Amino acid sequence: MANIVTSIDDYRFWRDEKLANVQTDIENCLIEVNKPTQLSKAEKNQITHLCRVNNFALFHIPSQQDYESSIVGFNQQFNLKTFDQHLYVKGQGLAHITQSDQQDQAEFIPYTDRAIGWHTDGYYNAPEDRIRAFSLFCVNPAQQGGENQWIDPQMAYLLLREENSDIATALTHAQAMSIPAHKVDGQIRRKTSVGPIFFMDEMTNQLYMRYTQRKKNIDFYDSDEIKQAVEILDLLLAGNTQYHFTHTMSANQGLLCNNILHKRSTYIDQQETPRLMLRGRYFNRVQS
């Protein structure tokens, strides 16, 4: 992919190809998988194709004896092997996203039953630890709620640029969004993160996004253009375009994606089988 951010001709070519191939019917984005650790050629091709044109694919697998090993094996077939070793990741690279009764873990909103606003995963990571793909798999759904919504960040950029190219340009500013360092007991766990919201990723030559709607401890560059652009981005996300997807995953369903923009609604747990999602974050894109 050429640099669509700086070249008008390259952008127009990319835009036309994107619109010609995008899939807007969620039913056509769900792939039935027979054996997650040994995908058929057809299953793998379908998932890879969807991740190329839509940046995500949904999949459904049969019940497993060991879900963690099955999902790790599934992801590895798409070359997702080098994972983000962040807090609470277990041995095989997956975090167990569920309500936590541990005080330090419950400070992080994914480990609560609260709603999570629009964001990309690892938006606070340094460029050398950029999250380019993640998987999310449902072992146990909530009794009620826990709905996911998402939109392809590339499509969000396209829609914004078609509305007003100045908006898209403002969101590519090198200092558009800053996240302060994360400190615990005076020790820095994560350095300050400063960067654009939309950017061309050097390693993959693909358009990516780093963003969160969380306003606490988030700073936007002090310019009217960028602040207005963020407001218009939030209005787009609050809308309901044909490129928005809404789905509540049932047991044995998963999502594989190139770090799409997503959110989660509040939920109510079942006491015996609380909501449990397995999440893996990876430093490379989904590959065939």
Give the CATH number, domain containing residue 191.
Answer: 3.60.130.10
pLDDT at position 81 is: 95
Q: How far apart are CA 45 and CA 31, in angstroms?
A: 10
Q: Is there a domain that residue 280 lies in?
A: no
User: pLDDT digits over 217-271, tens only?
Assistant: 799 999 999 999 999 999 999 999 999 999 999 999 999 999 999 999 999 999 8
pLDDT at 90: 84
CA-wise closest residue to 49 among 38, 40, 57:
57
Tell me which residue of 122, 17, 80 sits closest to 255, measured CA to CA: 80
Tell me, yes or no, whether 162 lies in a domain: yes
Please tell me the predicted confidence (pLDDT) of residue 59. Answer: 98
How far from 110 is each of 136, 149, 179, 242, 284, CA to CA, in Å?
A: 12, 15, 18, 27, 23
Closest alpha carbon to 172 in 202, 205, 208, 204: 208
Cβ atoms of 205 and 1 closer than 8 Å = yes
Whole-angstrom distance, CA of residue 26 vs CA of residue 58: 9
Least reliable range by pLDDT among 28-32, 101-105, 154-158: 101-105
| 247 within some domain | yes
C-alpha torsion 227→228→232→237, nearest 10: 10
Residue 236 lies in a domain: yes
Residue 177 belongs to a domain: yes
Separation between Cα atoms, residue 282 and residue 267, nearest integer Å: 27
Higher pLDDT: 215 or 5? It is: 5
Residues 186, 194: Cα–Cα separation, whole Å: 21
Q: Does residue 195 belong to any structural domain of this protein?
A: yes
Which pLDDT belongs to residue 106?
Answer: 66
Q: Assess if residue 288 is contained within a domain.
A: no
Domain-located, residue 42: yes
pLDDT at 42: 98
Over pLDDT 90: what percentage of the chain? Answer: 82
pLDDT at res. 206: 96
Kindly state the average pLDDT of the residues 69-73: 97
**Domain count across the chain:** 1
Burial of 189 (0-12, 13-18, 19+ CB in 10 A): exposed
pLDDT reported for residue 152: 98
Domain housing 183 = 8-275
pLDDT for 73-132, tens place per residue? 999 999 999 999 887 888 889 999 998 877 777 678 898 999 999 999 999 999 999 999
**Confidence (pLDDT) at 2:** 67
Closest CA to 14 of 171, 207, 204, 168: 207
| Residues near 255 by beta carbon (within 8 Å), at least 6 away in sequence | 56, 57, 58, 59, 135, 136, 137, 148, 150, 249
